[in-house]
Amino acid sequence: MTTSERWTFITNHGLVLSFIFRNPRSTAREIANHIGVTERTTHKIISDLEITGYIERRKEGRSNVYRVNPSLPLRHHTKQDVMIDELLEALTTKDELGLLIE
């Protein structure tokens, strides 16, 4: 695999955020398996997202339930006029959007 085949436009943080948005009751293992990173990396990303306010985590029994804060801006200084909800909308397929609205 060449260098140009390895990079993607969306970071692991963006992928985890998008997955949590669509699957708020998912486990770190489920997220890690879907994204293709380790569970440890997933826990670190979830912690980063929680500390910066992009997600909230609450306990329900032994499980976590997440909520994404869609009104925060993207973190890059050149894209702070773009809100998280716009990114999530762009990363959500029409089929997924229909399921989220119902």
| CATH code: domain of residue 33 | 1.10.10.10
DSSP 45-91: HHHHHHHTTSEEEEEETTEEEEEE-TTSBPSSTTSTTSBHHHHHHHH
Amino acid at 20: I
Could you tell me if residue 3 is inside a domain? no
- CA quadruple 35, 90, 87, 78: dihedral positive or negative? positive
Write out pLDDT tens, residues 39-67: 999 999 999 999 999 999 999 999 999 99
Say how many domains are in the chain.
1
Write out pLDDT tens, residues 27-36: 999 999 999 9
